[in-house]
Amino acid sequence: MTDKYAVIGNPISHSKSPLIHSSFAAQTGQDLTYNIIEAPLDGFRQAAEAFRSAGGRGLNVTTPFKLDAFAYATDLADEARLAGAVNALKFEGDKVFANNFDGVGLVHDIVHNLGFSITGRRVLLLGACGAARGAILPILAQKPDRLLIVNRTESSAYALAEQFSACGELSASSYSALGASPTAFDIVINATSASMRGELPPVHTDVFSPECLAYEMVYGKGLTPFLRLAQEAGAARLADGVGMLVEQAAEAFVWWRGVRPETGPVIAALTVRLE
């Protein structure tokens, strides 16, 4: 019988996940279907239950259900537990296994696709919600020289630094303190949703070193205000989150199917499509 997977979110019609997973399945010869489920904002559990009852094997979870999926899981992987959010579920009997591959996907994209080592580098992470939280552990695992978290709501950045303090060298700051004592970073990651609305987090050009990688987690928005600022600052490399999207999908695919797809051709095809 053909195995069923889906991505659940609201809104979800824009999702590229069906395209990505269909490409992976075709490439690896896996017999599966992958659809989209738009659940009502208060209807995650019901929609997930219905999918499971119909034989569903796994779900990708996107906005706004990453916390609902966290509550729904029976078995949380460390990445999901520490991120406080879930982006992939696997159903086996009564068990609901949960994971979060966003951070691993980000690091894979930076290190392997873009060729930027994180080890020994100065990393600035903008944002302190789900996407930023998920990135912290995988970044720390690469042993950066320092990881600084900055968020508009300062208390969230300080809370994250405190929560992950046992896992590596990290600290927090406000945007105003960052502006007051300019410091350059080797990798600056925009994990805020500011670019979704054409906004710019209040960072100065000083944060980008000349060799800097400026990484925008949002994808498909072209030269966002953040990437434009980095370009003006002379950052060596600009990247958006399309590679992260495909890499986190690949991690979920391996977790579900036990087969690793090739991501390069899928990233290339999706990049062209988004342009």
Binding residues for ligand NDP, rule: CB under 6 A, are 63, 102, 127-132, 151-153, 156, 191-194, 196, 199, 201, 217-219, 241, 244-245, 248
The CA distances from residue 101 to 77, 107, 123, 148, 270, in Å, are 10, 10, 20, 21, 19
Q: Residue 24 or residue 219: which is nearer to ligand NDP going by CB?
A: 219
Would you call 240 helix, strand, or coil by DSSP? coil
- Which two structure tokens, joined as six digits, stand for 60? 């990708």
Which residue sits closest to ligand NDP, CB atoms considered? 241
Of the listed 66, 90, 95, 143, which one is catalytic?
66
Q: How many CB atoms lie within 10 A of CB 63?
A: 13
CB 55, min distance to ligand NDP, A: 27
Active-site annotation holds for 95:
no
Q: Residue 155 or residue 165: which is nearer to ligand NDP going by CB?
A: 155
Q: Residue 44 or residue 219: which is nearer to ligand NDP going by CB?
A: 219
Cα-based angle 70, 10, 159 (whole degrees, multiple of 5):
40
* 217-223 contact pairs (CB < 8 A, 24+): 217/106, 217/131, 217/189, 217/190, 217/191, 217/241, 217/244, 218/190, 218/193, 219/244, 219/245, 219/274, 220/274, 221/195, 221/196
CB 163, min distance to ligand NDP, A: 15
Q: Residue 185 or residue 219: which is nearer to ligand NDP going by CB?
A: 219
CB 243, min distance to ligand NDP, A: 8
CB 136, min distance to ligand NDP, A: 12
Cα torsion 178, 233, 248, 104: sign: negative
DSSP string, 183-207: --EEEEEE-SSGGGGT---S--GGG
CB 222, min distance to ligand NDP, A: 14
The CA distances from residue 29 to 24, 217, 231, in Å, are 8, 30, 41
Q: Residue 18 or residue 211: which is nearer to ligand NDP going by CB?
A: 18
Q: Catalytic residue positions?
A: 66
